[in-house]
Structures are given as C-alpha cells and as structure tokens.
Structure 1
C-alpha cells in the first residue's frame, strides 16, 4: 500500500476544504471499498480525510419523505422502523448486499461511491480504461460473464455493484451534496453515469463535493415490494442480475410501479418503459412478461454474459410476481 497522511475533521466545511485544496486527498468513511482498492494498488490517495465525526448519521422523517444522513450505516438504515414501514424495498436491497460485518461498517454515502468489482479493474497487470484511461478494456473480448448488457461503450463494459443504489434509483431519491460552491441536489438517477469515453468518472460529483444526505419522497408503492438478487452463491456475492420492484395495487390493478435493475449496467438501470406500460394494467404474468420483453430491446451480449439476455427478463417477471404477492413479508 502506498504511504498516505491522515487527518480527522469535525465539520463538513473542514472536510470540503481539505479535499478541495489537495487533488491527492479523498474522503474516508467506512472504508469497506476504499481500503480494499488501496491495498490492491488500484488507487493511492496521498491523504485520507476521515469524516466519521461529522453529524451525518440521522434518519428522520420530513414533511415530504425520509432523510437519511450520508454516514448512516447500512445496517442501521435496513433495520430502521421508518425505512421498513415506508420504503421496504430499500431495506430488502440493503439486506441483500455484502455481509453483516460489512453492512455494520459501510455508510450510505460510501455505498454510493463504491467502484466496480470488475476483475480487470482490480488486476493492475491488466488493461483497464477505468483504472488507467487509454490502456484498453480487458473485459471486452475477455472473461465478461459479470458484465453489462445495457449502456456499455467500447471503452468499458463494467457494472455498478450496489444493491442499495438500485432501490434508491427506483424510489426517485434525491442526493444533497455540499462543495466549495455550496449545496446542490442531484436526482439519484443522475448521480451515477454511463462509461461513454470517460469510464474513469463514476459519478457527477465535482471536486471537493461531499455527500450530505439522501432524501426519499413518500410514494404509494410501499408494501408490495421485493428485491430479487440472482448471484453465484447465496451469501456475499455480487449480482449477476438484480431487480427492485415496488407496486401499488388496487383490486389487482397496478396504480403505480417502480422498477430498477442491478448487475446489468455501469449505473443502476431504471426501467421506465416497463413502468409506463404496467401502470393501469392488471398484475398478471402476461403483462409482466410483456413489460420485461419491452425493456430488453437495447440489451447486448458481450460474449460470455449472453445468458443475461434470458436471465434478466425472467428476473424482472419473478420480482414483479413476488412483489404483487407482497413478497417482502
């Protein structure tokens, strides 16, 4: 591991100033991903700015929804009564991620900032445009069964690893960030980005900006929710395909629906076309199958991940079936 200096701050202004003034500095929260990357030599910040003493751990109800502080631990969020009551999809997604030990350390902001688990990204002997821009993409033409079927580019086909972020995308969350120029809000669906020609840029944060909180607006899709994660093993594995589904049902008619996928793109993949199709229709397998078929039109296999072209729509249908059956209970 590369040598680094360490400071601990007690205010957001101090944290932002420390990172803004030093291009080699980065924020440190739970460290469950960052420290791994440092050990592997994938990244090497020269200064760590520890933000764990900032007052950003609260989970509280607001007039319009729920505000979750950026330093709230994943376990705390998953088990919080307000989250379980109003946003069970988020609770289910968090419980599907990582291991209990990691969830006890990982923070909401850190979860949002985690980087891809593509093995070419982690192997510093291999070409990777995300780690070393311009070096090429080892996954293209290589072993890519875990990789993207949506939104990839000729520079990168890696996928985003977070389960939590799939749920927050589906729930129309909004991120509050603070930087040298003050605060701004980012719709969660715009926070992460597709690789394009700059896959090394994972999100839309500007230099020195710190995640403060995530706001989730109240909605009508509370109880009928399910998070279905298909993976190689039942514990501590990243998704081959995951689907977060939440429904509002009235006499088996779909009044509202939220759908997003993980394991299929460089960012959580919102299924808006399927949502629009399903609204107002009966919650039937036939309608679920048609919705799944529609969203798969732009999907593209990278070679050894061709099975995802079948797995993905099947997972969408199954997640909707389980959500309609109140699968979170």
Structure 2
C-alpha cells in the first residue's frame, strides 16, 4: 500500500497518520485489492485441500502478512477510523450480490480481524468493541450475514458450512455487531468510501477521480455558469433601446426605396431578372420533389411569384 506524507501531532511531536488516510482512495483501493487477492489465493488452495477450511485460511492469513494489520497505527483517534473502515470493507464483500464462496472468505477475514485485536498492551490500544452493520429493506447486510450458512449447500461449498455457522454464531453471541439503519439513509460514517480521492495534484473531496490535465465535472459546471453570467451582464450593458427594432425597419425601407428609385424598380431588366429567379427556384423545387424525400416542401413559391409579378423580387420584404 502507498504511504502518504505523514503529519506531526501537536502533543508529543510524534509522527502519526491522519484519519483521512484510511477513508481516502489510497487505503480503500489498496485494501479492496488485497481482499480480492485473499479470496483468490484461498480459492486456489481450497481446490487442492478442503478438509480443514478455516485452518487453511489462518495459514494463508499469516503468510500474506494480515496478522500485522493491527500494528499499522497506534494513535487512538486514527486507529478508530482504521478499524471501522477495515471491518466495513470486509462486510461489503458479504452482500447477496457476491458469490457464496467470496462471502464466506470475507466472514473468515472479519472474524479473524475482530478477534485478533491486541489486548493487555501498555498503554492500551483502542479496540473495536462493536462492528457497525446496516440493516434495512434494500441493503440488509446483517440478515445476509445470518443467512450465509444456509447458502453453502452445494457439494463444493458444503465443507465451509459448519465453519461459517460457528463463526456467525460466535459473533452474534459475543454481541459484536452494532445494528444501524439501512445504508441508503446515510447511517455509516463516512457515507461513501472512499471519501477523499487522491490524485497527483493532491486530495479532492469528490467521489470521481480527476485525471491530470482534465477539468472535473464540477469545474466545468462552475466555468459554464461563470461564462453565462458574464454574457448576461454584457447583454444588459449593451442592450439596444426598446424601439430599436422599429427604427431599423424604417431605415431598411428607406434604403430599399432609394435603391429601387436609382435602378428603376419598374424597368424591364428588373422584371426579367425576377422571372428568371422564380423559374430557377421552381425547377429546384420540382427536382427535390421528384426525389421523394420531402425536402422540397416549404419553399413559399406562391409568395415569390406574387412578388415577381408585382414589380420584382426587390419589393419582397
């Protein structure tokens, strides 16, 4: 796992990890990958020998270095976050959408992690007395955990059933769980994992990773709103007067009347040119209609022909 730059505590000057490290993508992503590797490696060994599944699991747990997990951090405030997040990541592999074998390995891991917390040290280390677990209609992790042994009925999974039943019974008897409302209600703290996403520029409080050189969705929205506000203020400052449209229409008609007077709007040349334009437009419309794609509709030929007959197309406004 990657180790971030540590910060110094203000007490005795000891260097400690901050709680945000264990809720960040650095720790969450690495631990999820380690759990997946643990499930895969146990599955490979289970296929060769399934006579003592839990003994086999404990050997793999020690061989992969999981037994040193509790010595990762000693500061009480940070350790509380570390224990809760780690147990939560084991629990997320026990939901009904996971394969029964994966759920069983996650149960083995949670039980081992919970029951190997150091005791009797001086000074005493903070320990996790109750494991927060959601219980609800949509994400009922507790009921899923209780019903896990009944799912291990196939010949391949049957050797795991008595061990899973014993571990579930032991955890329930020890009152190891702290029941919470459904996760959809945001009962877990933090609500989403990871809470902090680590990118090359540093930590950002977002659930979507931001690639270097690319703006995040939030940044794009902010820039778009800023640009829209600037355009709105510019339009307010440069808005034309209310009668600008009427004045422009009058100027256009005046210029048009002057142009017709200079070129002789009623001359035969203007009329001939207008008729030529009308004829070409009619030919283009007929060609489009012949193709049958409907793109020749809406040409307004009746209005064009009327304007040409009334003194030329220059009189068409």
TM over 0.5: no
Q: Structure 1 or 2: larger helix share?
A: 2
Q: Structure 1 or 2: larger strand share?
A: 1
Higher relative contact order (CA closer than 8 Å, sequence separation 6+): 1
Q: TM-score, normalised by structure 1?
A: 0.20
Q: TM-score, normalised by structure 2?
A: 0.21
